[in-house]
Amino acid sequence: MRVQVGIIGAGPAGLMLSLLLHRAGISSIIIENRSRQYVEARVRAGVLEHWTTELMSELGVGERLRKEGLVHEGIDIGINGERRRIDFKALVNKTITIYGQQEVVKDLIAARLAQGGEIEFEVSDTSVDRLDSERPIIRYKKNGEPREIECDFIAGCDGFHGICRPSIPKGVLTEFERVYPYGWLGVLSESPPVSHELIYSYTDRGFALYTMRSNSISRLYLQVDPDEDINKWSDEEIWNELKRRVSPETAAKLQTGRVFEKGVTAMRSFVVEPMQFGRLFLSGDAAHIVPPTGAKGMNLAVADVLFFSRALESFYKTKSTSLLDGYTKKCLSRIWKAQRFSYFMTTMLHLNPGDSEFDRRRQLAELDYVTSSKAASTALAENYVGLPID
């Protein structure tokens, strides 16, 4: 098989890239080791930045998003029970939208298939070869049958544990990482959200986040140790602790419901440089991970492939490689700003077991300043809704 761009991974990055390339008249194929059912049910991030929602509408995949997405004009930050609002609309005249990643994936798959796009699900033994040539190759098996795709370019959108990044020769990449001394115990519950907008709650017991996936499904998080045993937490204990980490007034409004998913996620920051080798270009989690506190993961992945699609369009129209050569630099400018913001939000809101009393008081002063200074609140709002995309 011959195609201009071979895409590995049917997550938001790979699917969005395929749609962007189709708009530009560039052929592509997506291969994915999981089933369609699996990727459409995989629960991940749920916050879309302002520009991401606009891009989805621009690509013709925003109809269900506009109907079912929950538009938020701000967030609440709790400081030991006292809730203070950061008003995005008033500060920067932009909003965010709550719309689960699995819903984004459903919309993108349906749209791409309706265009006649090729998506190969449930493949195995995927590998890449001849990356530093003008005709890189993707090899895989489908139903046990060996297949091969010859491409002009390969997009590695296969996540942190995928095969693309490890296929780059040793010594080419430099990894930057920070591991945080806490994790999140997260649950999905059949219960209405306790608030219309997200509540980020700092308390002397630890951080908690009160968010949602819809008007009837709550997504709730508690700060725990990164190696916490989820089996030690009964549903009742989780609900009781969630009530302890907000004000009594908010706790009284917190409705319990059936918990149908729960787990513990360790928190880390990760970036690899460069994000390209030869004709292989990495996007999304294959190249970077951010702690979820800043709500940047999926949005960064979409930004990566937007930049990559522009570079490919320029190449096929003009034969210039300037945008392709500058892909890493372009992406990293946005990625490191998102890492800075995610680190800021994470360290401001979580209790670090290694902190002194000096650190605690400095942390409280920072929370007070960020939520009482218009300048500081504006900076937070500008980053949260998404920096301008250019």
Mean pLDDT in residue range 111-122: 96
369 is catalytic: no
Q: Quick check: is 196 catalytic?
A: no
| Cβ-contact 99, 52 below 8 angstroms | no
The Cβ of residue 3 has, within 10 Å, a number of other Cβ atoms equal to 17
131-157 mean pLDDT: 97
**Catalytic annotation, pick one of 140, 200, 202, 327:** 200
Point out the catalytic residue in the list 292, 327, 330, 350: 292
Q: Are 300 and 334 in contact (CB under 8 A)?
A: yes
Backbone phi and psi for residue 75, each to the nearest 5 degrees, phi listed first? -135, 160
140 is a catalytic site residue: no
Q: Of residues 140, 202, 221, 384, which has the active-site annotation?
A: 384
pTM to 2 decimal places: 0.95
373: tokens are 């200074």
Please confirm, yes or no, whether 72 is among the known catalytic residues: yes
Cα separation, 23 vs 306, in Å, equals: 12
Q: Which helix (H) or strand (E) holds 253?
A: helix 248-253
Please give the pLDDT value at position 213: 86
Cβ-Cβ contacts under 8 Å for 349 (sequence gap 6 or more): 77, 200, 202, 207, 293, 367
Alpha carbon of 73 to those of 70, 91, 92, 282, 376: distances in Å?
A: 10, 10, 10, 33, 17
What distance in Å separates the CA atoms of residue 327 and residue 308, rounded to the nearest whole number?
A: 7
Paired tokens of 52: 């991401």
pLDDT tier, 32 (very low <50, low <70, confident <90, very high otherwise): very high
Residue among 72, 243, 288, 330 flagged as catalytic: 72
d(C-alpha 343, C-alpha 374), whole Å: 21
Contacts of 249 (CB under 8 A, 6+ apart): none
- Look up residue 170 and give its DSSP letter: T
Q: Which whole number is the average pLDDT over 305-326?
A: 98
- 10 Å CB burial of residue 225 (0-12, 13-18, 19+) is middle
Chain segment 169-198, per-residue pLDDT in tens: 999 999 999 999 999 999 999 999 999 999
Neighbours of 160 (CB within 10 A): 14
pLDDT at position 44 over 90: no
Asked if 296 is an active-site residue, the reply is yes
Report the side by side order of strands in the sheet with 74-79.
82-87, 74-79, 199-202, 208-212, 218-224, 174-190, 258-273, 288-289
| Residue of 50, 106, 243, 296 marked active site | 296
Confidence category of residue 260, pLDDT binned at 50, 70, 90? very high
Query: Residue 214: pLDDT above 90?
Result: no
Q: What DSSP state is assigned to residue 143?
A: T
Where residue 390 falls among pLDDT bands split at 50, 70, 90? confident
Q: Give the pLDDT confidence of 356-380 residue by residue, as tens digits.
A: 999 999 999 999 999 999 999 999 9
At 41 the pLDDT is 87
Report all structural domains of the chain as residue ranges with CATH numbers, in order of start: 2-51+60-69+99-176+268-349 (3.50.50.60)
- pLDDT, mean over the chain: 96
45 has a pLDDT exceeding 90 = no
Among 135, 115, 103, CA closest to 280: 135
Contact 307, 331 (CB under 8 A): yes
Query: What are 59-74's pLDDT values in tens digits?
Result: 999 999 999 999 999 9
Using a pLDDT cut of 70, give the percent of the chain over it.
100
Residue type, 128: V
pLDDT at 199 exceeding the cut of 80: yes
Mean pLDDT across the stretch 326-333? Answer: 98
